[in-house]
Amino acid sequence: MKTLYVSFLWHLHQPLYKDKLTNTYRLPWVRLHSTKGYWDMVNIIEDYPDAKVTFNLTPSLLYQILDISKNVIKDLHYEISKKPIDSLTLDDKIFILQNFFLCNWETMVYPYPRFNELLKKRGESISGRELEKKAFDFTKKDFLDLIVLYNLIWFGFSERKDPFIKKLFEKGEGFTENERDKLLKKQKEIISLIIPKYKELQDKGQIEVSTSPFYHPILPILLDGKQSGFDFLSDAKEQIRNGISFYEENFGKKPKGMWPAEGGVSKEIFPLLKNEGIEWSATDEEILLNSIDSFSRSDIYKMYEINGIKLFFRDKNLSNLISFIYSKNKPEDAVSDLVARIEKIRDCTIGLPGEHIVSIILDGENPWEYYRDNGHGFLSGIYERIPKIPNVKMVTFSEFIKITKEGNKLSHIIPGSWIDHSFKIWIGKEEKDKAWNYLKRARDTLIKTAPDNTSAWEEIYIAEGSDWFWWYGDDFSSDQDDVFDSLFRTHLANVYKILNKIPPSYLDEPIAKPKFIKPQIEPVHLISPIIDGKITSYYEWLFGGFYDVWEPGGTMHISQTIISSIRYGYDFYNLYLAISTKTKVEEEVFVVDIISPNAYRIKFFPENYGDVFRVLNVDSIIKIGRLNSVCFGRILEVGIPFRVIEAHLGDEIRFVVSTERNGIIVESWPKMGFISITIPTKEKEAINWSA
């Protein structure tokens, strides 16, 4: 009787969170996911010898796992975790309260009484200013428990059988610094075992490990010169070659398969893969649906061939069930549902000619945060039951190629990804296109200045990764959008630094489009402050607006901020600002960027004057005049005439306040948005007063 083949591809990936020039990791996700998803996924499969799967380990993830396990690196989250509790500063404590609850609360906080207690004590919804107050409420014991619990909760089911880890979970609270140190040491030990374990199981033949272009670029975008306005063919080739070379360095042989980043394919990429010895690749079923004239559901369960590359198409429904739905069900029910669906596919294809394969391809790390047992019940269930389904066999993709040999010929394939069979998530919107434009400028500078500088090229390749563009625009958002934005611009700025050039000033400013940030107090009436560098009286700014930089929170250490608050208001002729600072200002220049109704930049200097610039575009600003209504004192007070910035009664003015040191923007407020003020007409103001 005919056999239906089933092949899982678990895609394991993280973008490069490391700034190579400073040897600093900005985010902890590789370290934390290592003791959970990466270690669990390879360990559990070993218990089920009849289960065969493919893991796609991206080179950027592989590099970071090896780097963290072997080298001394800077990771603020880790460094604060291991500090003696008595030496924690106020900034450290605020950082812990901001960042050590970043996980799925439903499965990783609420089930653990002490962790849940600490979350409630901090507050589930809390502002930046309140964090400082909470930092004083938390005891040394609270902070130590929080540090241990946050690092502990990222240990998955494989290590929870370890006597020490099991003891910590059972203890639940009242941890010692010695236990914390042992936990962090255990974390490092596990990370060092991950890649050798994947190699061991691949050498045994139970798993296949495939790869991706090194820094996870979407190859069709790099190659699509006509639509995108650039053609990075040489970059695409290098990303492929470097990924294969790094794989060979760590696994002792070349990979047979390559998962294209985001499942992004086009007819142009396959000759590149073929030339480097790649045998197979894969993408989403919707690509096939839109590439052939007539479509039957059974078509996605065939192997295809295009330009010498064997091509598999994932079952989108089955893949998404595991990613997003099954976590809400009991493990045994989810397993039974998947088994039943595979049996149905077997029954539907059994009478059709040729061999058929069900390709289940998905993210292999993030789903397990949403499974109450970290996915143990579901994974053990499918690895136990699928091989026992009559006339069903689990295989790797390379094993299936040996069985089938010839694929169905594809003469045409539409360009697209595994999301909506398009690339609109990564290109084609204002913020995304601005990021690509900045990347192209840096690349052009490199080619003109030092085309053989490999370190600078490395930063370009990093910036080509898909993850940065994913977070730009309004498609997706996270608590760390500002960090991703900053990291992308850091990699581009590093290109210029490596070339001994000053990075363009626009790389100091967020690419993410500013959003209106609601201040703590909004203006209600006209004000007429005296510009004398101090709050002259209680009533001077009473009817103005007030923005406290603490309120939005964020990842910046509080000690790094210069500005503490911004008061603002207006009369019929001027915009007024009063900027308070944490410390005495000596070298800083204060910058007010007027975003609308027209783009202006005004720089205020300690010598009590302000230079006004008209902003034409990111490369061109023209000095047009000077303001003298400026006073640096206890605070900075300024008056900006509406006529200077071409604003009129009834206009909305959007602005951002920054500090600059040695020509470099140090901080901007709001960080990811703007303050908005609408100049009332005289009629409107009269109504306000009469009300």
Residue by residue, DSSP assigns 414-440 as: --B-TTTTS-TTTSSSHHHHHHHHHHH
Torsion sign over Cα 214, 218, 219, 223? negative
* Average pLDDT estimate for 627-639: 91
Examine the pLDDT at 578 and tell me if it is beyond 60. yes
User: Angle at CA 443, nearest 5°, toward 441 and 449?
Assistant: 100
**Mean pLDDT, rounded, for 103-117:** 94
For residue 595, what pLDDT is reported?
A: 87
pLDDT(682) > 80: no
- Cα–Cα dist 106/184, whole Å: 24
Give the per-residue SS3 of 15-60: CCCEECCCCEECCCHHHHHHHHHHHHHHHHHCCCCCCCEEEEECHH
More confident: 668 or 451: 451
CA proximity to 198, closest of 54, 51, 63: 54
Listed in sequence order, the residues at least 6 apart from 202 whose beta carbon sits closer than 8 Å to its beta carbon are 208, 209, 251
Pairing of strands 609-617, 620-627: antiparallel
| DSSP at 656 | E
* Domains in the chain, CATH or no CATH each: 4-18+203-409 (3.20.110.10), 430-508 (no CATH), 515-690 (2.60.40)
- What is the C-alpha to C-alpha distance for residues 682 and 684, in angstroms, rounded to an integer? 5
Query: Mean of the pLDDT values across residues 419-434?
Result: 92
Q: Which helix (H) or strand (E) holds 498?
A: helix 481-498
Reference 188, options 81, 69, 75, 78; nearest CA is 69
- Widest pairwise Cα distance in the chain: 91
Which DSSP state fits 585?
Answer: -
pLDDT, residue 558, reads 42
pLDDT at 479 over 80: no
Sheet with 574-581: strands ordered across:
545-548, 563-570, 574-581, 636-641, 630-632
468 pLDDT higher than 50: yes
- Residue 316 confidence (pLDDT) above 50: yes
Angstrom distance (rounded) from CA 345 to CA 357: 10
Above pLDDT 70, what percent of the chain?
Answer: 95
pLDDT at 690: 45
Cis ω before 670 (30° cut-off from 0): yes
**Phi/psi of residue 549, nearest 5 degrees:** -65, -20
Which of residues 668 and 486 earns the better pLDDT score?
A: 486
How much is the CA Rg of the chain, to the nearest whole Å? 28
Spell out the SS3 assignment of 216-251.
CECHHHHHCHHHHCCCCHHHHHHHHHHHHHHHHHHH
Q: pTM of the predicted model, to two decimals?
A: 0.83
Residues forming beta bridges with residue 620, ordered by sequence position = 617
Q: How far apart are CA 40 and CA 379, in angstroms?
A: 10
For residues 251, 257, 262, 264, the Cα torsion angle rounded to the nearest 10 degrees is 140
